[in-house]
């Protein structure tokens, strides 16, 4: 069994990162991540990315890959693309405190998803009524492995629009 694991790790180490396009996970208004009202994300300490004011309560996969993290509270999703890009989508500020209330999702860790596939739905109005900011933040967790993380479009976006291009 250990030999099998070692082979798997060796295969993972052999993955060469490629430049990759990341799609908008939500319909709304895109803006600079540094302007998000969440210090952890706006400081870019977790990675570079982009933020969105959602106009529709649905999150779609920004890349094709594997769900690496599916929080039981349904407010955040980690995806590793087939090319090795690691993306975190975080729905709302401090919405972990809602414990999954106003969120619906059937994704599970280990699932393979395609870019554009619906992952989570959430009730923007109920989240606001509960006193939370519904801003969606999307970051590239493995930012240091890329030469550049280039947001492509600010302002009005639809899910599936090009949001970020990475360069290796």
Supply the residues annotated as catalytic.
Answer: 90
Q: Residue 13: enclosing H or E segment and its boundaries?
A: helix 2-13
**Parallel, antiparallel or unpaired: strands 162-167 and 49-54:** unpaired
**Residues forming beta bridges with residue 157, ordered by sequence position:** 28
Given phi > 0 = left and psi -120 to 50 = alpha, else beta, which region is 84?
A: left
> Could you say which DSSP state residue 40 is in?
H
């Amino acid at each position: 069994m250990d030999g099998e694991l070692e082979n798997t790790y060796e295969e993972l180490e052999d993955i060469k990162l490629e430049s990759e396009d990341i799609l908008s996970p939500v319909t709304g208004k895109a803006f600079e991540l540094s302007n998000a009202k969440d210090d952890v994300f706006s400081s870019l300490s977790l990675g570079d990315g982009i933020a969105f004011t959602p106009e529709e309560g649905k999150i779609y996969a920004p890349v094709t890959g594997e769900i690496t993290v599916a929080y039981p509270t349904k407010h955040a999703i980690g995806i590793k693309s087939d090319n090795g890009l690691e993306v975190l989508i975080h729905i709302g500020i401090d919405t972990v405190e809602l414990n999954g209330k106003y969120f619906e999702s059937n994704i599970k860790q280990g699932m393979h998803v395609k870019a554009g596939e619906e992952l989570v739905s959430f009730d923007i109005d109920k989240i606001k009524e509960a006193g939370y900011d519904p801003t969606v933040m999307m970051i590239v967790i493995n930012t240091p492995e890329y030469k550049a993380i280039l947001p492509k479009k600010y302002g009005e976006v639809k899910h599936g629009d090009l949001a970020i291009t990475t360069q290796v």
